[in-house]
Amino acid sequence: MPRLTTPPDLPEGVARAIEIIGNRVRARIVRELAVAGPRTAPEIAQAINARREIVYQHLVTLEAAALVVADEPAGRRHGRTVRWSVQADQVLLLTEEFARYLAGK
């Protein structure tokens, strides 16, 4: 099986989009939040048929990329119900360069 390589002319924004949104679970989480609105990790997990722990790990990655935001800061979440929201403007910014690249523009 061939080894995965990164094309030398791949723009940084495109590589970042692939790294962050190229994961199926993360893409489903972003879409769920965009369509359904703010949700807790268990609600998201149920909606996309995934384990809550996995969803939470992906939410943290998406938060670090500024694609989602929680209603509680990271240091104050333990024992609290945290609702996550999508940052649609950030999602569009991340994906626009990727779309242009794929379209050859």
For position 95, which CATH number holds? 1.10.10.10
Amino acid 1: pLDDT: 53
Distance of CA 88 to the CA centre of its chain: 11
Angle (CA) 94-87-74 rounded to 5° is: 110
Q: Would you say residue 2 lies in a domain? A: no
Q: Would you say residue 32 lies in a domain? A: yes
Q: Would you say residue 6 lies in a domain? A: no
Amino acid 3: pLDDT: 62
Q: Distance between CA atoms of 58 and 56, rounded to whole angstroms?
A: 5
Q: Would you say residue 76 lies in a domain? A: yes
How many separate domains does the chain show?
1
Q: Would you say residue 3 lies in a domain? A: no
Q: Would you say residue 5 lies in a domain? A: no
Determine the structural domain holding residue 76 and report its residue range.
12-102
Amino acid 105: pLDDT: 85
What residues of the chain score a pLDDT lower than 70? 1-4
Amino acid 72: pLDDT: 84
Amino acid 10: pLDDT: 86
Angle (CA) 88-19-77 rounded to 5° is: 60
CA neighbours closer than 13 Å in the CB half-sphere of residue 47: 19
